Amino acid sequence: MAERPPRVLLIDDSEGYVRMAHKFLRRYEYATNCELTNPCWQCDYRRGCRLKQARDWTQTTEILRRYGGEVDAILLDVHFDLPIEQLVAEPGLPGATALDTDDPDPVELENLRRYQGFHILRRLRKRFGQVPVVLMTSNTSIAFNEPEIEADLANEEYTQLFEDEEISAQSLAAKIERARRMGQQQSTSEDGTFFWGTSRAMARIRRWLEVFARGDQPILLLGETGTGKSFIAEQFIHPLARPEKIFCAIDLATIPENLVAAELFGTSKGAFSGAVGRPGRFEYASGGTLFLDEIGNLSLELQKRLLGVLQDRRVTRLGENKPRPVDVKLVVATNEDLEERVRDGSFRADLYQRLNPAAKVRLPPLRERKEDLRGMCSFLSRRVFTSEGNRKLLAEFGTMFNIAPSRVGASLTFSQKIRAAPADTVTFQLAGLALDCLGQHDFPGNTRQLEMVLSNALLFSLTDALAAGRVGDRPVVAIDAQVLRELIAASDLTRPEQNAEPASEAQRLIVELDPADTLNNASRNVEKQYFEELYLRCGGDFERMARHLLSGPASKNARKVQLRFNNLGLSVRDLRDRFG
């Protein structure tokens, strides 16, 4: 059976957009209120027919119900010149109060007609979820940046159409396909490597990255720690940008400042004491993708040098005068506000522009994606048991219920009543107080923190279930709310520190003094203990550490503190593992 063409619904009170669509966009099927099946442009009754489109909200719902909601895209006009009884109003939008009285204010009524498309859009989102919509207008005076409608437009497609119908049709067709693509991505919440969720915001980010990845311009990833910037760079952008080529990543926060230039640009033999001739990361990654994490840690001098490499697409090793051509897909990431850094002079404006801020993508924190929490937990839980050690535990539990180790799987349910579980599957139950505990937490460490908490909760619960032996006939493991709460508290670096001193007061710490082979090593050991204890007291916040250690702006000094922290051989990951 042949696949039907994409189905489009037109919502407009006039005939102009319908005529244009039927003339130029005949590859689509149009949803109508008509019982005839032939295309409108081939119909003998098309002239004067009022069934070709939806002219108001009531007709919109009728047509959508007629097709069971199976519409691939909606084309929606903004301005509707309709009688008042055919208008709808949504609170907070322009003209919303016009229907509150029998004698509406003429200005409010005109605003309701002028922005009727936005009122219909909001109702579509409430009643019909995430169906792709393209807003259309030929009115240049429509204020798309008005506060009342700006939020509604943040994740929608809209276009301005002009008198040239052919050009307008080309623009509209591109918008339809873009909207359809986003709709398809929303229905696929994961791609095997990353959980995108089902929100329109994440679908738009995914679509942007697909486009940006295929070009040669840099991509700037913004977002808090743990939102998945490095993962997206390697697992999503790189395969699209330079498949089969090398991926090279470097975290600039972990490299001492005096070694960053050599690491990025390479060295010639004798460039400095102990230097050998070797390529830097730009040369090593040439032809592939280079990911620079924490780009904000670069000094102004290194920013200038990086700018030259990006402008000339050539790199000069330290100690040499000969530039070498390089070709990399550059992806940079930071959790800082680079625009603020440009304003205060700590980040070069010309480098910021060269990093292509037009293609910057902000990955939202987990607290802004609460609607994706359950899906993300299911996704992460499947990853837990892909490692050999964890899978052995799962297989051991499964054998108690006569499940072969080679066939055992794991699933996660949020239901308090489990009536039927998949065959050969151990079901983990995350419900009741345990689910509430997850939902109420903001997870400042974002996806990374959630994954560690959930992984530990699954393993703790599985270990306890193994110790208890077989109970009942179903392989079900309930995740304990108390265990989950304790794991969250232990992993949350932003919790209030019980022993922290006010920033204005001196810190008094106790260190152990052990003999060393040199005074330098002895003092370094003392400094390392001090940094470690201060890190723990400040909840892992380098900016707060900077307030105790250095005078001046803590936001700027935090990078110096973090670099010294790394120079001393301290590791954030090790401290988290040791002290939670």
Dump pLDDT digits (tens) for 19-63: 888 888 888 889 998 888 878 888 888 888 888 899 999 999 999
Asked whether the domain spanning 200-364 has the same topology as the one spanning 7-186, the reply is yes
pLDDT value, residue 506: 60
CA-wise closest residue to 158 among 140, 170, 177, 175: 175
pLDDT for residue 291 is more than 70 = yes
Angle, helices 373-384 vs 446-468, to 10°: value is 60
Q: Please report, for the chain, the start and end positions of each structural domain, with discontinuous segments joined by +.
A: 7-186, 200-364, 370-491, 519-579
Ramachandran region, residue 418 (left: φ > 0; alpha: ψ -120 to 50; beta: rest): beta
Q: Quick one: angle between helices 300-312 and 257-265, nearest 10?
A: 10
Whole-number pLDDT of residue 153: 66
- For residue 251, the 8-state DSSP code is E
Query: Which of 120-129, 368-377, 510-519 has the least mean pLDDT?
Result: 510-519
Q: In the prediction, which pLDDT does 184 show? A: 57
- Distance CA(220)–CA(223), nearest Å, equals 10
Picking from 130-134, 268-272, 501-505, which range would have the lowest pLDDT averaged per residue?
Answer: 501-505
Given a contact cutoff of 8 angstroms between Cβ atoms, the answer to whether 369 and 202 are in contact is yes
Name which residue leads in pLDDT, 232 or 201: 232
pLDDT at 156: 67
Q: Given this model, what pLDDT does residue 282 score?
A: 95
pLDDT (tens digit per residue) in 234-277:
988 998 899 889 999 999 988 888 889 999 998 888 777 777 88
Indicate the pTM of the whole model: 0.62
Q: How confident is the model at residue 163 (pLDDT cuts 50, 70, 90)?
A: low
* Side-chain-side CA neighbours of residue 376 (13 Å): 28
Looking at residues 446-450, what average pLDDT do you find? 88
Could you please state the CATH topology (level 3) that the domain comprising 200-364 is classified under: Rossmann fold (3.40.50)
pLDDT of residue 67: 86
DSSP 8-state secondary structure symbol assigned to residue 195:
B
Highest mean pLDDT among 194-208, 343-357, 502-516: 343-357
Alpha-carbon Rg of the chain, whole angstroms? 30
- C-alpha distances (whole Å) from 184 to each of 72, 179, 368 are 9, 9, 22
Superfamily of domain 7-186: Response regulator (3.40.50.2300)
The pLDDT value recorded for residue 154 is 60
Q: Give the pLDDT of residue 494.
A: 46
Task: Please tell me the predicted confidence (pLDDT) of residue 167.
Answer: 64
Q: Quick one: average pLDDT of 369-385?
A: 85
Q: What is the pLDDT of residue 502?
A: 42
Q: What's residue 542's pLDDT?
A: 85
The mean predicted confidence, pLDDT, of the chain is: 83
Give the confidence band of 509 by pLDDT, cuts at 50, 70, 90: low
